[in-house]
Amino acid sequence: MKRSYFRLLVLICLSGSPLFADDAIEQAMKKYHKAPQGTDPVCKKVSNGEATADQLSELLKAYEAMAAAKPPKGNQASWDEKNQALISAVKKIQGGDASGVSDYKKAVNCKACHSVHKPD
């Protein structure tokens, strides 16, 4: 009885998570990488060293959710590496480390990630 309940839970987790996962990636892209016309997306503010503490902590959460998600394309190792680069760059900036901004600019390279992980 206990055992089958556990199995059911595992099944729910396995079948449910990819749905949330894809969503986490899209949300992060729409909210932080792409902005309505005429405004700067959060990623650009970060690259310019102009992001507020609130924006940085929101962004960090979005990247952590993205990192926990399965990439729709490409392999997991590459996905992990790219997301970790984003996460550690944001953490560096939060910690006041000046090299964080240049790390971030490298990590947030749209094309480098899309060419490997974004479905056509």
Question: Is 70 a binder of ligand HEC (CB under 6 A)?
Answer: no
Give the residue with the Cβ less far from ligand HEC, 12 or 110.
Answer: 110
Integer Cα distance of 55 and 58 in angstroms: 5
Residue 79 is encoded by which pair of tokens? 């996905």
Whole-angstrom CA distances from 88 to 12, 14, 32, 95, 106 are 31, 28, 17, 10, 12
- Does residue number 114 form part of the binding site for ligand HEC (CB under 6 A)? yes
Residue 69 structure tokens = 């998600």
Rule CB under 6 A: say whether 31 interacts with ligand HEC. no
* Closest CB to ligand HEC among residues 7, 109: 109
Residues near ligand HEC, by CB under 6 A: 22, 25-26, 29-30, 33-34, 43, 71-72, 82-83, 108-110, 113-114, 117-119
